[in-house]
Amino acid sequence: MKENENMAWYTFKKGITSENPTYVQALGMCPTLAVTTAAINGLGMGLAVTVVLTLSNIIVSLIRKAVPKDIRIPIFITVIATFVTMIDLLMHAYTYDLWKSLGIFIPLIVVNCIILGRAEAFASKNPVHYAALDGLGMGIGFTLSLFLLGSIREILGNGSWMGIHLWNFKMFMFILPPGAFITLGFLAAFFNYLKIKKEEAAKAKAKAAKQAQAQKA
Amino acid sequence: MMELVLIIISAMFVNNFVFSRFLGICPYLGVSKKMDSAVGMGMAVIFVMTVSAAIAWFLDKLLINLGLEFLRTIVFILVIAAFVQFIELFIKKNNPNLYDSLGIYLPLITTNCAILGLVVLNSMLKLNFLGAVFHALGASTGFAMALIIFAAIRERLDLYDIPKPFQDLSIALVTAGLLSMAFMGFQGMVK
């Protein structure tokens, strides 16, 4: 039972940390760069993707034994497109301002490689509860990445955070397209740096343990 | 006539798909490591995008007449996927040489958001048939141009000593940012 719990926790957690879709796998770059002009837009986009990803993972996992191998991709795309259409209509009805600022990128969730990628690589091979956890984890990882990027761009470029005015110092470039590329580039380098440091630390620890063992002998 | 020229120029430079609309970033970062593959991908995108824009224009009109606009996303993506599959089979059978150079890029195009993005944009902007096709032509040429410029820069980047955390994805993004800044110079050229 303990092992099962650990497995479930890992399935959920890996999307946020070790297999983060944005900074580690570099998937779904278009919405990441395009909608993060403000923190709230990043959050909204991330949540929409999380919902679609979790639901489509569940359905794909449920039908995984009935789907013929050769035509699985069109079937997955149809499932995803159905959920995206639902989200599109729901957002149009209830969060009109957000729907307007995300614009064309809501229908484009269909071709977001994270969703098809998870359907193909995980949901079509695993039971429902794991598929749901995987979708939720990846979605939350994506949301956090978008929220971080959106926050940085909004604070530096507009002097505000989540629509709250902070100061009058504004670097306009961060709201414009070049700012998106450059901020994401530096964030990716930062997470890469943390990863390299961690690997070096693990290596040093392993080496120390080996030396200690050799001394004992 | 003037209007069509303006549509092409605006889609190619002012609203370049990669640098200002952020469409097709995945292939842009993924296929730009070698010049040859960048050229191949660029050509494949020009072809697929222009033809799918034409097909989708008729489908869009049909859906509007039937009052089924909410099915747009599903219909468009399925048509693009089917069309790409069809071209792949067709080229494989009739022109093996072309297949060798374009073949591997075709399946990647289905999930290229630039194609679906353009089709959705066309339907949002309510362009007429010629406008839609020329918009596709301009946008895809702009995409190919961005891809080829970027591949040329990236081939040179390989020769430099880049700090370890910045290697690969990170330096590519920063380079793209600088390119995008250069393309901002076109802003305001077409109203």
Summarize the confidence of residues B126-150 as an average pLDDT: 90
Contact B180 A84 (CB under 8 A): no
Summarize the confidence of residues B8-23 as an average pLDDT: 85
* C-alpha torsion sign, points A34, A37, A43, A48: negative
Specify which residues A49 forms β-bridges with.
none
**What are A200-215's pLDDT values in tens digits?**
888 888 888 888 888 8
Contact B165 A190 (CB under 8 A): yes
Q: Report the chain A residue with the minimal C-alpha distance to residue B176.
A: A181
Mean pLDDT of chain B: 84
Given a cut of 60, is residue B148 above it in pLDDT? Answer: yes
**What are A138-171's pLDDT values in tens digits?**
899 899 989 999 999 888 888 888 877 878 888 8
In chain A, residues with a C-beta closer than 8 Å to the C-beta of B14 are: none
Check CB contact of B111 with chain A, cutoff 8 Å: yes
**What are A99-122's pLDDT values in tens digits?**
888 888 888 888 887 888 888 888
At residue B141, the pLDDT reads 92
Summarize the confidence of residues A17-24 as an average pLDDT: 78
Domain ranges of chain B: 31-186
Check CB contact of B71 with chain A, cutoff 8 Å: yes
- Across the interface, which of B20, B70, B166 has its CB nearest the CB of A89? B70
- C-alpha B61/C-alpha B43 separation (Å) is 28
Query: For residue A23, what pLDDT band results from cuts at 50, 70 and 90?
Result: confident
Summarize the confidence of residues B112-118 as an average pLDDT: 84
What is the 8-class DSSP label of residue A161?
E
Residues sharing a CB contact under 8 Å with residue B110, sequence separation 6 or more, in sequence order: A73, A111, B80, B81, B84
Q: Interior CA angle at A138 toward A132 and A141, to 5°?
A: 140
CA distance A7 to chain B (A): 30
Contact B73 A81 (CB under 8 A): yes
Summarize the confidence of residues A28-54 as an average pLDDT: 87
Given a cut of 70, is residue A9 above it in pLDDT? Answer: yes
In chain A, residues with a C-beta closer than 8 Å to the C-beta of B110 are: 73, 111
Q: What is the 3-state secondary structure (H, E, C) of A61-119?
A: HHCCCCCCHHHHHHHHHHHHHHHHHHHHHHHHHHCHHHHHHHHHHCHHHHHCHHHHHHH
**What are A72-108's pLDDT values in tens digits?**
888 888 888 999 999 999 998 998 888 888 888 888 8
Query: For residue A35, what pLDDT band results from cuts at 50, 70 and 90?
Result: confident
Summarize the confidence of residues B82-89 as an average pLDDT: 82
CA-based nearest residue to B86, from A116, A74, A121, A115: A74
Given a cut of 60, is residue A1 above it in pLDDT? Answer: no
Tell me the count of A-B CB pairs closer than 8 A: 121
A214 within domain boundaries: no
In chain A, residues with a C-beta closer than 8 Å to the C-beta of B124 are: 104
Given a cut of 70, is residue A197 above it in pLDDT? Answer: yes
A215 within domain boundaries: no
At residue A54, the pLDDT reads 92
- C-alpha A16/C-alpha A9 separation (Å) is 11
Of the residues A20, A22, A25, A30, the best mutation for testing chain B's interface (the one with the most B CB atoms within 10 Å of its CB) is A30
Contact A107 B174 (CB under 8 A): no
Contact B73 A84 (CB under 8 A): yes
At residue A52, the pLDDT reads 92
Structural domain containing residue A161: 2-209
Query: For residue B86, what pLDDT band results from cuts at 50, 70 and 90?
Result: confident
Check CB contact of B38 with chain A, cutoff 8 Å: no
Q: Report the chain A residue with the minimal C-alpha distance to residue B162.
A: A189
The ipTM, to two decimals, is 0.83
Q: Are B170 and A184 in contact (CB under 8 A)?
A: no
Please tell me the total count of domains within chain A.
1
Contact B184 A176 (CB under 8 A): yes
- Residue B24: Cβ-neighbour burial (10 angstroms; 0-12, 13-18, 19+): buried
A198 within domain boundaries: yes
A201 within domain boundaries: yes
**In B, residues 9-28, which contact A (CB 8 Å cutoff)?**
19-26
Query: For residue B64, what pLDDT band results from cuts at 50, 70 and 90?
Result: confident
Check CB contact of B102 with chain A, cutoff 8 Å: no
At residue A2, the pLDDT reads 58
CA distance A190 to chain B (A): 7
Contact A34 B22 (CB under 8 A): yes
At residue A212, the pLDDT reads 86
Token pair in block for residue A52: 């679609």
**What are B34-62's pLDDT values in tens digits?**
888 788 888 888 888 899 899 989 998 89
At residue A117, the pLDDT reads 82
